[in-house]
């Protein structure tokens, strides 16, 4: 059906009639998802990742002028003007404008229905914390000040549960159930509350921390020094300083989650159980960890690969032999 044809008695708008700019589309989209209850983190992410796209388009670009070619030129803009060459980073920017583009297509502000292009990149396996590094980090600090004990307990919680950093910051004292060994996580990425099982060791650490912390039920479990919600930057800085003191060069918050999941996969934890613990809404992300599992492959490789004849030395010296 061509634009301008009648369907169900409603006349489709011609291109010349559509005067919605991308900036107006963005504002309408943000209002829509805010009404639907999307988290502040999600709103900030869209705002951050759309900054370059609106800068690239300019204030007055109409939605009806946005095509697949526009997105291809935007990729070049990111690479050549903004000097961002990492494929994962570029795709993150594209992924965060994709819902807005689709929203515009659905509203018929954008007339061309097209897929958002993606940049191909070489996948690599992420390095995880080694057992030796974890043992160093989880050793009880000699200093008994609030910041040291809090950071130590945070590290134990990250390493023992695989919880997301922003979920950890929102934990409340009343959410810790030491009797049943669980933590209630209410502020989740997918808006679905879940229970985190906690080990005996983490239970002991949390017991000691709560005796030291002396907080009320509604207080944040890991607050700032002022008793308020700890900022993400503060949490990251605390972890970095602590890791530096322990001689551990890695200090990524998300790496604790990655390490936890990798170790769980290598211990043959059921994917369904692991999904409940990690809070992944689908198995897609977890499948990447299971697909990268090496223990199964190592276990069968001897049955596939050629074998050395042990009766002969591969590098037997021929020196001194008579010809």
Buried b (16+ CB within 10 A) or exposed e, 62-93: bbbbbeeebbeebbebbeeeeebeeeeebbeb
Q: What pTM was computed for the model?
A: 0.73
List all residues 6 or more positions away from 154 whose beta carbon is below 8 Å from its beta carbon. 168, 222, 235, 238, 239
| DSSP 3-state of 218 | coil
pLDDT, residue 288, reads 78
The owner of tokens 């017991």 is 207
Contact 31, 21 (CB under 8 A): no
d(CA 254, CA 105): 34
What single string gives the DSSP state of each residue in 94-160? HHTTHHHHHHHHHTTSS-S--PPP-------PPP---HHHHHHHHSPPS--SHHHHHHHHHHHHHHH
| Contact partners, residue 31, CB within 8 Å, separation at least 6 | none
- What is the predicted pLDDT for the residue at 5? 46
Q: Which residues contact 318 (CB under 8 A, 6 or more apart)?
A: none
Residue-level pLDDT, tens digit, the chain, 323 residues: 444 444 444 445 555 456 899 999 999 999 999 999 888 888 999 999 999 999 999 989 999 999 999 999 999 999 999 999 999 899 999 999 999 999 999 999 999 999 999 998 877 777 889 999 999 999 999 888 999 999 999 999 999 999 999 999 999 999 999 999 999 998 777 778 899 999 999 999 999 999 998 888 899 999 998 999 999 999 999 999 999 999 999 888 999 999 999 899 888 899 899 999 998 888 888 887 776 666 667 767 777 788 776 666 555 555 555 54
Half-sphere exposure of 9 (CA within 13 A, CB side): 0
| pLDDT computed for residue 8 by the predictor | 47
Helix (H) or strand (E) holding 184: strand 182-185
CA distance 34 to 36: 5
Distances (CA, A) of 248 to 135, 139, 151, 240, 244: 11, 13, 15, 9, 6
Token couple for 183: 């933590």
Q: How far apart are CA 174 and CA 221, in angstroms?
A: 8
Look at residue 304 in the predicted model and tell me its pLDDT: 78
| pLDDT at res. 248 | 94
Torsion angle defined by CA atoms of residues 279, 284, 285 and 287, in that order, rounded to the nearest 10 degrees: 110
pLDDT at residue 1, rounded to an integer: 42
Write down the pLDDT at residue 2: 40
Burial of 155 (0-12, 13-18, 19+ CB in 10 A): buried
For strands 182-185 and 10-11, give the pairing: unpaired
In this prediction, residue 310 carries a pLDDT of 64
Sheet holding 194-197, edge to edge: 176-177, 182-185, 194-197
- In this prediction, residue 143 carries a pLDDT of 86
Strand 6-7 to strand 176-177: parallel, antiparallel, or no bridges (unpaired)?
unpaired
Taking Cα atoms as reference points, which of 64, 86, 82, 242 lies closest to residue 150?
Answer: 242
Q: Which of 266, 234, 254 is nearest to 189 (CA)?
A: 254
The domains of the chain, with CATH numbers, are 17-106 (1.10.150), 131-293 (1.10.443.10)
Question: Quick check: helix, strand or coil at residue 225?
Answer: coil
């Amino acid at each position: 059906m061509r634009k301008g044809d009648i369907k169900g008695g409603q006349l489709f708008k011609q291109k010349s009639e559509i005067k919605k700019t991308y900036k107006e589309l963005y504002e309408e989209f943000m209002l829509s998802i805010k009404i639907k209850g999307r988290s502040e983190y999600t709103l900030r992410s869209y705002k951050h990742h759309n900054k370059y796209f609106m800068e690239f388009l300019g204030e007055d670009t109409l939605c009806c002028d946005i095509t697949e070619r526009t997105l291809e030129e935007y990729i070049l803009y990111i690479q050549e003007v903004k000097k961002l060459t990492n494929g994962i980073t570029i795709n993150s920017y594209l992924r965060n404008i994709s819902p807005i583009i689709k929203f515009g297509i659905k509203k018929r502000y954008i007339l061309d229905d097209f897929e958002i292009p993606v940049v191909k990149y070489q996948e690599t396996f992420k390095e995880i914390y080694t057992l030796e590094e974890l043992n160093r980090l989880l050793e009880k600090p000699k200093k008994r000040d609030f910041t040291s004990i809090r950071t130590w307990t945070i590290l134990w919680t990250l390493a023992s549960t695989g919880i997301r950093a922003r979920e950890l910051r929102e934990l409340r004292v009343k959410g810790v159930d030491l009797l049943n060994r669980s933590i209630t996580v209410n502020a989740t990425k997918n808006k679905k509350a879940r229970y985190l099982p906690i080990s005996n060791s983490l239970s002991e650490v949390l017991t000691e921390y709560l005796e030291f912390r002396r907080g009320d039920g509604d207080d944040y479990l890991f607050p700032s020094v002022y008793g308020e919600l700890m900022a993400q930057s503060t949490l990251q800085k605390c972890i970095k300083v602590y890791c530096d003191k322990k001689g551990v060069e890695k200090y990524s918050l998300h790496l604790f989650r990655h390490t936890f999941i990798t170790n769980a996969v290598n211990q043959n934890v059921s994917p369904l159980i692991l999904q409940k613990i990690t809070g992944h809404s689908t198995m897609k992300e977890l499948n990447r960890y299971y697909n990268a599992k090496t223990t199964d492959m190592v276990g069968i490789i001897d049955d596939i690969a050629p074998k050395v004849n042990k009766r002969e030395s591969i590098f037997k010296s021929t020196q001194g032999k008579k010809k």
